[in-house]
A and B are shown apart, each in its own frame.
Chain A
């Protein structure tokens, strides 16, 4: 029952994703980076440009307002290049103007953030350390064998207030701390607060953001569309092929049965994952191809299960009774045999859905995943793989992994429930 509810919820969420997803899963907020679940920040784009009399560049939600007030902590950013020689700092170069400095004090009070641009160990460099030429760098900054690191150091300035009057998205008056100015460019990462017509505008990231600042909940929801679609359609493909082949083989019996099951055994021996990868590499990658490729892998077991069921059913008297009524072979297979096989078929099919989802995520891991409806949206598998690489930010792994596990678990519970529901001897008997 719980499984049914979870599957229903996931299914509903997946169907309603375009309306439910709080954010555009592709909209990056580069200035944010990974943030844990529950993160809230002002609603503004990476770059917001306002010029009196010209259309403003900012999120549409902001431009709908008549008066915008920003509180901005502008930061001064300087990029530094640190080079090592024999374990000691050889030089510190400020990139702007290529000025060499003897010392970089990251413990100074105005330093608000240190960002690693290139080289070094992720999570290593941070505020609070001092780098000096001729001295060893702080422990844990450089990976062995790495000699050069690029840093971005941000220093804060006192907060500044901006007030912007808009008419149809075009600024009429721009004020900076009460002084009228002609143009304003605001970096999203500096904005601390946005008030539109007296109402504060914020973005909530219920499940946090990824390394590119994209909303994780949105990505998981959109990813579910791909994963579940692939899982369901590939399962239906395997169901149709497997049930028909298995039923016909089992019902025909004799030579036909031996030939078909021999072919199935031969196909079992083919390393199908390679075949799928080959298919996906040779042809233009599309959802259709993925469905067919994954379905073609799965139908073999289905055919065997159905054939076994049909073999045991074909000797039951009600099949003879149906023949006695003058039913044709096709009718016997479709109306009498297949419905009687449905129990195990459904149970196996619900196990196929998660199996296919896992296979799809394996393909995604190899870079053979597929976008959806022209958008490059990652499936759950791709999100999990991405999260597995970002060990510093566990929620990037945990959120999609738990989401996916819950769905797979629920699908299994659903299979049990369906089996009970399909058995007319259950329930009231």
Chain B
């Protein structure tokens, strides 16, 4: 592989709160090649959204990146002055937000909001920017793009708003698109359309995509590679095929086991991972998943495993070398 587009090393970021420092992103490392689709899966509170904000340099006022390195196209982003960071944002790396209801300014016509990014970054005049916006709207499948561009957000449906958000993110042909749970707020049929749209645009533009979601199915449908996030760190990274065929980390296995299936015996109770995700406060001893892990022993509670390749060559953070996973054996 040539130089990766994005190279993240031991990234640490968190938030100051009244209770103390929250380690929302705790030593995340990964590489992303140009044009690759990378999924990040995790449950609520695992630090997925904090990761996306840290990558974009959009940490809120009480949050900051405290360690690690973040190289994008050969440029180090940690510690980069805000002005240069701003020039990258929206231009070369863009973010699609979770909730299209709240991520569009209700007082601006949607077309104007997309124009804004185009004019800021590409220096186009009003009319050229609008032509580009209309083209983008057509590309993301908004019918009657000229008419819709003059609408306010509340006049569009949720799916259309998310298409507008995607158009806005795509407006300057970014090399990296981060989609933070882009379909969570949408209903299922629209979800599928939006995912197909993201995939299609990602391929057509040869754009790298980081898709952040709590939905394994979404990752399977969209991504080449995926990471499973737990307690602010990646507990397993693998190609999507390998990950789905043979999850290696107990947490990943727990996630798969928790997926209900249509052919399940209805009388069988739904499987859940016992316990709660750990609070990301204070010092950490041992594997953060140990309290919930069926395979955990004293060693797990004492030693924090590193992300390392196991005997099969798969990358995960577990001291144990678990036996092969047979899906049929679950439950």
Interface residues of A (CB under 8 A from B): 253-254, 315-318, 320-328, 331, 335-336, 339-340, 342, 424-425, 428-429
Given contacts A253-B61, A326-B91, A424-B154, contact A321 B107 (CB under 8 A): no
Query: Chain A interface secondary structure, helix, strand, loop or mixed?
Result: helix
Partner of B105, one of A323, A340, A342, A429: A340
CA distance A399 to B97 in the complex (A): 59
Give chain B nearest CB distance to A316 CB in angstroms.
5
**What number of residue pairs across chains A and B have CB atoms under 8 A from each other?**
86
B254-265 toward A: CB 8 Å interface, digit per residue (1/0)?
Answer: 000000000000
Asked if B61 and A320 make an inter-chain contact with CB atoms under 8 angstroms apart, the answer reads no
Asked if B89 and A317 make an inter-chain contact with CB atoms under 8 angstroms apart, the answer reads no
Known: A324-B89, A424-B154. 20 other contacts (CB 8 A): A254-B61, A316-B103, A317-B99, A317-B102, A320-B58, A320-B97, A321-B168, A325-B89, A325-B117, A325-B121, A326-B90, A326-B117, A326-B120, A327-B86, A336-B108, A340-B107, A424-B106, A424-B107, A425-B106, A429-B154
Q: B154 — nearest CB in chain A belongs to which residue?
A: A425
B223-255 toward A: CB 8 Å interface, digit per residue (1/0)?
Answer: 000000000000000000000000000000000
Across-interface contacts of B154 in A (CB, < 8 A): 424-425, 429
Given contacts A253-B61, A317-B102, A340-B107, contact A429 B155 (CB under 8 A): yes
List the 4 closest pairs (A to B, CB-CB), nearest first: A325-B117, A317-B103, A326-B90, A325-B90
For chain B, the count of residues having a C-beta within 8 Å of the partner chain is 35
CA distance A320 to B89 in the complex (A): 11
Partner of B102, one of A318, A322, A429: A318
Q: B57 — nearest CB in chain A belongs to which residue?
A: A323
Interface residues of B (CB under 8 A from A): 53, 56, 58, 60-61, 86-91, 94-95, 97-99, 102-108, 113, 116-117, 120-121, 152, 154-155, 165, 168-169, 171
CA distance A428 to B154 in the complex (A): 11
Asked if A321 and B103 make an inter-chain contact with CB atoms under 8 angstroms apart, the answer reads yes
Across-interface contacts of A324 in B (CB, < 8 A): 56, 58, 89-90, 94-95, 97, 169
Given contacts A316-B102, A326-B86, A327-B116, contact A321 B155 (CB under 8 A): no
Pick 13 A–B contacts, CB within 8 A, sort by A. Answer: A254-B61, A316-B103, A317-B98, A320-B58, A320-B97, A321-B105, A324-B58, A324-B97, A326-B88, A326-B90, A331-B120, A339-B108, A340-B107
Across-interface contacts of A429 in B (CB, < 8 A): 154-155
CA distance A315 to B97 in the complex (A): 13
